[in-house]
Amino acid sequence: MSDFNVGFVIFPGMTQLDFTGPFEVLSRLGTPPSLSAPSPFPDAKTHVIAKTRLPVMSDRGLGILPSCTFQDCPPLNLICLPGGAGVVDALADDETIDFIRREGERADYVTSVCVGAFLLGAAGLLRGRRATTHWAYVDLLPRVGARHEKARVVRDGNVFTSGGVTSGIDFAFAIVAELAGAEVAKAIQLAIEYDPAPPFDAGHPDKASEAAIALMMSRNETARANLRQALDNRSAPTSG
């Protein structure tokens, strides 16, 4: 079996859990060097990709070290785009968008978490697709040619988009189940004890209080405006 290359594209200002949640799940497809038990998908390899090999700072100040760059990463079977405030600057970076487009067009699976969906959209990978993103930004999906579908994880062909932050863990389990079977996915879920029991049932606007929704929206007003402007800039015709 040839390698199955899973690639996470990271950039300054990303939300680390958008990346580390699905990374934790998908990296367990292969057998870690410390374990002798065989894996049903032993040739899976996980790559952390950035423009350079310098540490990349998340939107909360956590530094993450890439394992390869746009120039030296292998062809990807799965590409994943996290979200975060840094999506605004990434949208303006042609090198980043071109890499996403190139790898996404040939990947078996094209995936995103939260507002990472807009990076897929800017690369033309969501045009005419059903998709989701963080609930506070779903109204912007038509700007990249996508149709919003209300779900935590949305699949349209080989494209998986997921909602805000923690939902990336769920799409990763869906991928594992497809690649290696439901029992492997369940075993990984058990291994990481993914058994959510939050103290508040407020993780979606359908459940949250009006006060919580208003507070969250007020805290994200600037971020929404910045993303909307970045999408407008990306779609605006260039002069000359």
User: In which band, very low, low, confident or very high, does the pLDDT at 113 lie, cut at 50, 70 and 90?
Assistant: very high
User: In which band, very low, low, confident or very high, does the pLDDT at 235 lie, cut at 50, 70 and 90?
Assistant: confident
Instruction: Tell me what pLDDT residue 66 has.
Output: 98
Angle, helices 16-26/167-180, rounded to nearest 10 degrees? 20
Torsional sign, CA 70, 230, 109, 8: positive
114 is an active site residue: yes
User: In which band, very low, low, confident or very high, does the pLDDT at 44 lie, cut at 50, 70 and 90?
Assistant: confident
Q: Are 116 and 87 in contact (CB under 8 A)?
A: yes
Q: Which amino acid, 66?
A: P
Instruction: Tell me what pLDDT residue 31 has.
Output: 60
Mean pLDDT for 125-129 is 98
Mean pLDDT for 162-171 is 96
| Predicted confidence (pLDDT) at residue 239 exceeds the cutoff of 50 | no
Q: Which of 68, 73, 80, 114 is catalytic?
A: 114
User: In which band, very low, low, confident or very high, does the pLDDT at 40 lie, cut at 50, 70 and 90?
Assistant: low
Show the tokens assigned to 89: 């600057």
| Predicted confidence (pLDDT) at residue 175 exceeds the cutoff of 70 | yes
Q: Which residues pair with 223 in a beta bridge?
A: none
Show the tokens assigned to 72: 């030296």
Relative to beta strand 56-57, strand 63-64 is antiparallel
Instruction: Tell me what pLDDT residue 30 has.
Output: 76
Main-chain phi, psi angles of 110, to 5 degrees: -120, 120
Show the tokens assigned to 34: 């410390």
Mean pLDDT for 74-82 is 97
Q: Which residues pair with 64 in a beta bridge?
A: 56
In Å, what is the CA distance from 192 to each residue of 25, 38, 80, 150?
A: 8, 18, 20, 27
**Fold held by 4-235:** Rossmann fold (3.40.50)
- State how far the Cα of 128 lies from the Cα of 8, in Å rounded to an integer: 24
- Please, what's the largest Cα pairwise distance for the chain? 60
Instruction: Tell me what pLDDT residue 38 has.
Output: 53
Residue indicated by tokens 């899973």: 6
Main-chain phi, psi angles of 184, to 5 degrees: -65, -45
Mean pLDDT for 90-102 is 98
